[in-house]
């Protein structure tokens, strides 16, 4: 399983045209409309399943 994951992660995933990049969306919201950024941040916090695990120290 791990070998499959490593192999897959080396390739750039092909995204459909209608795919939205959450990082780009947040960055744009932060730059253009701080209020909208806060709303997006709140939505993100309500969906903990998509938050990446914290780096192990």
pTM over 0.95, yes/no: no
CA dihedral 18, 24, 29, 30 (to 10 degrees): 170
The pLDDT tens digits for 10-28 are 555 666 665 667 777 777 7
The answer to whether the CB of 29 falls within 8 A of the CB of 41 is: no
The answer to whether the CB of 29 falls within 8 A of the CB of 40 is: yes
Cα within 13 Å of Cα(44), Cβ side: 12
Q: What is the mean pLDDT of the chain?
A: 64
Residue-level pLDDT at 51? 52
pLDDT above 70 (res 49):
no
Residue-level pLDDT at 19? 62
Q: What is the CA radius of gyration of the chain?
A: 15
């Amino acid at each position: 399983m791990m070998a499959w994951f490593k192999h897959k992660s080396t390739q750039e995933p092909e995204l459909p045209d209608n795919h939205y990049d959450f990082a780009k969306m947040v960055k744009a919201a932060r730059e253009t409309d701080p209020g909208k950024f806060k709303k997006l941040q709140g939505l993100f916090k309500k969906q903990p399943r998509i938050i990446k695990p914290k780096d192990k120290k």
